[in-house]
Structure 1
Amino acid sequence: MISKRFNVRVYGLCINHQQNILICDEHYGNQFFTKFPGGGLEFGEGIIQCLKREWKEELNIEIEVLSHFYTTEFFQASAFDGSQVISIYYLVKPSEMSLDEFTSYTHLLKNEETLFKWASLKKMKESDVTFPIDQKVASLLIERHASGCF
């Protein structure tokens, strides 16, 4: 079935001093996937508000949004409901603690649905994340890291 709905997703890209990026393993229903932290825009919510809410819900932390990184430039159907996915990515950092403290903090986070982990940008591959838009973003991160932008 083809949906005529849009599904807006907002993700935060947090890179620590060791040039690692935060990603997470999640499961939803019977599907297991690896993605960047963030999630879906709710009706009546602004994009930045959504990103901050998602990080607060998932990581119990306040973030500072540093800059826009990428917005989807191609059609992508949702893996879950067939809606058209529009994903927006921002570079972020924790606002309540240093990056080093945050790196240690994420290793302590545990819940039934999500496992947070740090992936080396030097060793990262597009296939380290599951969804096509995330893979595009991983490719851009790899390029920028290789050119010394981070």
Structure 2
Amino acid sequence: MNKRTLRVYGFLEDASGRLLIAFERFRGMPLVKFPGGGIQWGESHQAALCREFHEELGLNIAVGPCLFFNDFAVQSAIDPEVQVQSFFYGVRALDPLDALTTSEVREVPETEGERFVWVPAEEVLKIPFTFEIEQAASRAWAASKTPQ
């Protein structure tokens, strides 16, 4: 692996404590992940996450603390020469959430695109996230909800 890509994702909860999950088909590949994506050159994590949420959901957000990042090497499923490092932040919507287009269908679309699903907190760890990073991040999110 000669290159690295940095990615940012957001944990967005609604008033009921449900978490927003993306079911996406990207370049023919089925993905189950959190909303977010790649950091562009010169962009901060916060700016990238705000841009990604606006592009994907038309939603303005405030970025909170980083709740998880992978400190282990992960090879990109898209390009085997690339190592992926992802950062997961708590985010808060600045716009009304009722304007979001969401689905109840927990399946990846047949064609390119994504659908967003609100998942109850108690079901998040049962979601079949595509990659190890998202699986670990979902466990970190769940742990952040458990009283210490």
| Bucket of the pairwise TM-score, normalised by the shorter protein | 0.7 to 0.9
1:24 to 16, 22, 25: 22
Identify unmatched segments of 5+ residues in structure 1: none
Match in the other structure for 2:91: 92
SS of the residue aligned with 1:78? coil
C-alpha separation in 2, matches of 1:44 and 1:7:
13
Contact 1:19 1:122 in 2 (8 A): no
Q: Residues 122 and 56 of structure 1: is their aligned pair in 2 closer, same or farther, counting only changes over 3 Å?
A: same
Match in the other structure for 1:71: 69
C-alpha separation in 2, matches of 1:112 and 1:30:
7
Match in the other structure for 1:4: 2
User: Number of residues paired by the alignment?
Assistant: 140
User: TM-score scaled to structure 2, two decimals?
Assistant: 0.85
Moved more, 54-63 or 118-127: 118-127
Contact 1:10 1:51 in 2 (8 A): yes
Match in the other structure for 2:106: none
Identify unmatched segments of 5+ residues in structure 2: 104-110
1:46-87, CA deviations, whole angstroms, 9 ceiling, x for partnerless residues? 111111110110001110112211111111111110211010
What one-letter code is carried by the residue in structure 2 that aligns with 1:20? R
SS of the residue aligned with 2:8? strand
- How much identity, in percent, do the aligned residues show? 28
